[in-house]
Each structure stands twice: as structure tokens, then as C-alpha cells.
């Protein structure tokens, strides 16, 4: 009996112990694992208005105790996000979606770009509508998909006769053989089309051709050919007398090769090319052929002399080797202009020499018919002043009351680098002359006294709203970029940059 009682008590004691141990285990506290980071599967996404995309975030470590997160958009007018990371595009623009861990506040961000609904193509245009190209030469056709903000602006090109002319995927036409072909461009979206008629001609033997044109480009077949510029100009003069340029048409002179003192023969006015008779010419465009053209005075004369006329220097032509010092003249080794307007939209003027305005001299004619030069493109480079007197404007000299404007991608570079230009390595602006800069670049020019890039004399004016003047050189105190005379010169800057020149300060006023 006592033995059974003892066993029962042992059993009860054992059960109590087991229960106690079990309770103790339940009361133990499990360790807390904190969030150390949070990441997105991608940092940027794009979607259209009305579309949705799911963002996925990863809480690190994966076994963190509290993996709760919150979502937020910094601009719900652009994109919203729900509690599951589902992003909806609301309107075009950019928003940042941020996810934040509840434990520790770690965050991750994803940039969402929302674009408008696809904009269909409504039309297609081509320019020019017709072109002339020589055999084995090329011309570029430009296509305009409308509207300008159409979503899919892809096009395809096709020639109806590849034995005459071919066209590549960029609209570059190559002449194969003489004849006419039609180039068609087709919009991938909607199938809208436009056409260009291509006339392929045999390569002419003439050094110079000229065309009657409504633009600055070659239009139609040549109206005349010549081996000398003076003969081409005589032909143009006769055509104007015959009213061939009615409606303000232009004479586009195309140089195919090199015109020099040898090909031109006897020169007058110490110039390779003279456009100097008032009222007998239309507006004249000088350009090179697709393979380029050169007017090379060979250091024997000025390249181009313009008086009482309007001239445009266009693409693919180089004016070089002009030198007026050899003929005891001071001005305009490349171009001298008086009572005229000159526009430069392409081409190059280089390696010319004069006392002043080695590249271009814009002359005050003293008769209130003041010259103007507008440079919208092209390059004036590597010109130098030379002589015993004060030397100014290795690139350009703007005489009193005349004007010069620089815009677009016009470049005036590396003039006066031989150290012989006293003032205005790039440009020298005389008293009461005006220089306006709304684009382009003046760089790498040098003057030994002042105005490495630009020198504005007393009562001259310079206004800059855009463009860059940099890497020019002048002595310290001389305005390495720009020098503005303290004697009545006017300077205004609303934009553009004058910096990075050599010599302090960049701008001396």
C-alpha cells in the first residue's frame, strides 16, 4: 500500500516538473531581426496615360521581423500607387514613387515617366520637291512627319528606278545614270506618302555652273556654264537684263573644282572675283558642288570684292589664299565689302592675310549706305594680319557705322595665332559699329594687346544673348575673351558665355 502511494507521488511530481518546463519555454522571447535596407526591382519605368505597372520591392534581410511597408507618389497628378505597389499613369510627366519600411524608415525610389497616348501621323512632307544630282554624286532629301510630335515617325524610302537613282534609309540619293526617277517616302504609321523627282545628269566638264533659283540651293538644270568666274558673272548680267530673275530669283553659282589666278586670267581690282557693278546682278549665292569648290587667290590677290551687291556664301565652298598686303592694300584678304550685304550660311574663309580684317573687312563707304554682314553658319579660320601699322581684326573687321551679327553655328576660330594681331584676334569692332551675337562660337583667336576674341573700340557696341566666347588669348588686363573700350563703348549681355579664355580677365570693361 505504501509502495503504491510512493509511486503515485513520484508520478505526480514528474508531471508537475514537465508542466513547469513547458511553461518556461513558452515564456522565452524570440529575437527581433531589424530591416537593414529596401530595394526596387527597377529604378525607372515608363508607361502610357491610363496604363498600369506593378513595382516590386524587396525588404532586406528577407527574414526581417517587421516587413511592413508604405507606398507614396510625389505627384499624384502624374502617377498614383496603391498599397500593393500598383502604379497607374494619370497624365504625361514624371513622378517619383517611394516605398518606406515601417521598421527603421529605410526607403527606395523609382522614377515613373508617363507619356501621352499615341499620337498618329496625319501627313508627310518632303524637301526639296525636286533635286538634280550628278552621276556618282549624292544629295540629301529631308522628310517632315506631321504632326511634329507624332508617336511613330518612322518612314521608308523607295526609288521607282534604281538604274537611275538609289536612296538609302536616311534619304540620301545617289545618281546612277542620266535620267529621271521618283523617290517616294512612306510613313510607317498610316502609310502617308510624299515624292521627290530626281533628275540625274552627267558630270559637267565646266569648272563653274550657275542656276536660276528661288532659294539658296541648286534648282533645275544649269542656266549657264563657264571656265572663269568673270564669264559666269557676265552671263548672269545678261540674264538679268533679259528679266530671267523676275520674282526675286537668285543666281546660284556652283564651283566644281578650284578657281585661281591661273584659271581666271587677268585680274582687276587686285581681286580674284569681283561683284562690283551696281544694279546689274540679282542676289548671288556662291557655293561648291557636292564634291566641293574652292576660290584660291594663291596669295596673289584678294579672294572676293563686293561693292553695291548682295551676296550669300553657302555650303561646300572655300575662300582661301587671299592676300592684300602683296598689292600694298590694307583691307579684306578674304572678302572686302562696301555698300553691300553679305550673308554666310556655310562654307569656309581661311588662310587669308591683310593689315585689317584679314578674313572679312566690312567697310564704311562714307555715304550712309553702310555694309552689313550676317554669319549664320560656316567658318572663318586661320587668318592673319600683317603690316607695319596697327593690325586689327584677324578674323573680321567691322568699320564705323557698319554692322555684324553672329548666330546659328557660325564659327570664328584660330585667327591671329601667329602673334601679329594687335587688337581683336577674332573680331575688331570700330567706333559706332555694331556687333550682335545670338549664337555661334568665337574661339582659339589671339591678340597681343587686347581683345583676344573681340575688341570693341570707343563708341562701338556689342550685344550678346547666346553663343560662346572661349579659348581666346590676350595679355592679362587686355580682355582675353572680350575687351570693351572705356571711351563710350556699349556692352550688353543677356545670355551666352564668355569664359575659359587665356589671360585675365575674360571680359574687360
Rounded CA-CA distance 326/226 in Å is: 29
Q: Kind of pairing, strands 208-213 and 224-226?
A: antiparallel
Residue 343, C-alpha cell as written in the block: 550673308
Residue 31 CA from chain centroid, whole number: 64
Whether the upstream peptide bond of residue 61 has omega within 30° of 0, thus cis, is yes
Looking at residue 42, its pLDDT comes to: 86
**Where do the H-state alpha helices sit in 247-389?**
261-264
Rounded CA-CA distance 73/43 in Å is: 14
Tell me the whole-structure pTM to 2 decimals. Answer: 0.62
Rounded CA-CA distance 470/499 in Å is: 5
Four-point Cα dihedral 403, 344, 414, 294, nearest 10: -140
Angle of CA points 420, 361, 468, to nearest 5°: 75
Residue 113 CA from chain centroid, whole number: 28
Backbone angles phi, psi at 262, to 5 degrees: -70, -45
Rounded CA-CA distance 237/365 in Å is: 24
Looking at residue 8, its pLDDT comes to: 63
How many CA atoms are closer than 13 Å to the CA of 318, on its beta-carbon side?
Answer: 18
Looking at residue 14, its pLDDT comes to: 57
Classify residue 362 by its DSSP letter.
E
Looking at residue 26, its pLDDT comes to: 43
Residue 195, C-alpha cell as written in the block: 515624292
Contact assessment for residue 234 and residue 253, using Cβ atoms and an 8 Å cutoff:
no
Backbone angles phi, psi at 402, to 5 degrees: -90, 170
Q: Kind of pairing, strands 172-175 and 142-146?
A: unpaired
Residues 6+ apart with CB under 8 A from 238: none
Looking at residue 135, its pLDDT comes to: 67
Whether the upstream peptide bond of residue 65 has omega within 30° of 0, thus cis, is no
Rounded CA-CA distance 427/358 in Å is: 10
What is the residue whose three cell numbers read 503504491?
A: 4
Looking at residue 407, its pLDDT comes to: 98
Tens digit of pLDDT per residue, the chain (509 long)? 456 666 666 666 655 545 554 444 444 567 889 989 999 888 899 888 888 999 998 889 988 889 899 999 999 999 999 999 899 989 889 999 999 988 888 899 999 998 877 788 999 999 999 999 876 689 999 999 999 888 888 999 999 988 778 999 999 999 876 578 999 999 999 999 999 999 987 556 679 988 999 999 998 877 777 889 999 999 899 889 888 899 999 999 999 999 999 999 999 999 999 999 999 999 999 999 999 999 999 999 999 999 999 999 999 999 999 999 999 999 999 999 999 999 999 999 999 999 999 999 999 876 667 899 999 999 999 999 999 899 999 999 999 999 999 999 999 999 999 999 999 999 999 999 999 999 999 999 999 999 999 999 999 999 999 999 999 999 999 999 999 999 999 999 999 999 999 999 999 99
Contact assessment for residue 141 and residue 183, using Cβ atoms and an 8 Å cutoff:
yes
Looking at residue 27, its pLDDT comes to: 47
Amino acid at each position: 500500500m505504501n509502495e503504491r502511494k510512493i509511486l503515485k507521488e513520484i508520478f505526480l511530481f514528474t508531471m508537475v516538473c514537465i508542466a513547469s518546463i513547458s511553461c518556461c519555454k513558452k515564456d522565452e522571447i524570440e529575437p527581433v531581426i531589424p530591416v537593414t535596407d529596401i530595394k526596387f526591382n527597377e529604378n525607372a519605368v515608363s508607361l502610357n496615360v491610363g496604363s498600369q505597372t506593378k513595382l516590386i520591392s524587396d525588404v532586406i534581410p528577407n527574414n526581417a521581423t517587421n516587413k511592413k511597408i508604405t507606398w507614396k507618389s510625389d505627384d499624384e497628378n502624374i502617377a498614383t500607387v496603391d498599397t500593393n505597389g500598383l502604379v497607374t499613369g494619370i497624365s504625361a510627366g514624371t513622378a517619383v514613387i517611394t516605398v518606406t519600411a515601417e521598421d527603421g524608415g529605410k526607403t527606395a525610389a523609382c522614377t515613373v515617366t508617363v507619356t501621352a497616348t499615341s499620337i498618329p501621323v496625319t501627313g508627310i512632307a518632303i524637301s526639296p520637291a525636286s533635286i538634280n544630282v550628278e552621276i556618282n554624286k549624292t544629295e540629301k532629301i529631308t522628310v517632315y512627319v506631321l504632326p511634329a510630335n507624332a508617336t511613330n515617325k518612322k518612314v521608308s524610302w523607295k526609288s521607282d528606278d534604281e538604274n537611275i537613282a538609289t536612296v538609302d534609309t536616311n534619304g540620301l540619293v545617289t545618281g546612277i545614270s542620266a535620267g529621271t526617277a521618283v523617290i517616294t517616302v512612306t510613313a510607317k504609321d498610316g502609310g502617308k506618302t510624299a515624292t521627290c523627282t530626281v533628275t540625274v545628269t552627267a558630270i559637267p566638264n565646266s569648272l563653274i555652273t550657275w542656276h536660276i533659283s528661288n532659294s539658296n540651293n541648286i534648282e533645275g538644270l544649269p542656266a549657264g556654264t563657264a571656265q572663269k568666274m568673270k564669264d559666269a558673272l557676265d552671263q548672269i548680267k545678261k540674264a538679268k537684263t533679259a528679266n530671267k530673275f523676275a520674282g526675286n530669283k537668285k543666281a546660284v553659282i556652283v564651283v566644281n573644282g578650284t578657281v585661281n589666278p591661273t584659271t581666271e586670267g587677268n585680274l582687276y581690282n587686285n581681286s580674284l572675283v569681283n561683284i562690283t557693278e551696281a544694279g546689274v546682278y540679282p542676289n548671288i549665292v556662291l557655293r561648291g558642288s557636292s564634291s566641293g569648290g574652292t576660290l584660291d587667290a594663291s596669295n596673289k590677290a584678294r579672294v572676293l570684292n563686293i561693292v553695291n551687291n548682295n551676296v550669300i556664301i553657302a555650303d561646300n565652298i572655300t575662300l582661301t589664299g587671299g592676300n592684300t598686303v602683296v598689292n600694298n592694300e590694307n583691307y579684306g584678304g578674304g572678302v572686302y565689302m562696301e555698300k553691300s550685304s553679305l550673308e554666310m550660311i556655310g562654307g569656309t574663309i581661311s588662310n587669308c592675310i591683310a593689315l585689317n580684317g584679314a578674313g572679312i573687312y566690312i567697310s564704311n563707304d562714307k555715304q550712309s549706305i553702310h555694309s552689313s554682314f550676317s554669319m549664320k553658319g560656316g567658318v572663318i579660320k586661320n587668318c592673319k594680319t600683317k603690316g607695319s601699322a596697327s593690325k586689327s581684326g584677324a578674323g573680321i573687321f567691322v568699320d564705323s557705322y557698319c554692322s555684324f551679327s553672329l548666330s546659328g553655328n557660325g564659327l570664328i576660330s584660330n585667327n591671329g595665332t601667329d602673334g601679329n594681331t594687335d587688337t581683336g584676334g577674332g573680331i575688331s569692332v570700330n567706333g559706332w559699329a555694331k556687333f550682335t551675337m545670338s549664337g555661334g562660337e568665337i574661339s582659339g583667336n589671339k591678340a597681343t594687346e587686347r581683345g583676344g576674341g573681340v575688341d570693341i573700340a570707343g563708341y562701338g557696341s556689342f550685344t550678346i544673348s547666346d553663343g560662346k566666347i572661349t579659348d581666346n588669348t590676350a595679355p592679362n588686363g587686355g580682355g582675353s575673351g572680350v575687351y570693351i573700350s572705356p571711351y563710350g563703348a556699349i556692352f550688353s549681355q543677356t545670355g551666352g558665355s564668355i569664359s575659359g579664355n587665356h589671360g585675365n580677365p575674360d571680359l574687360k570693361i
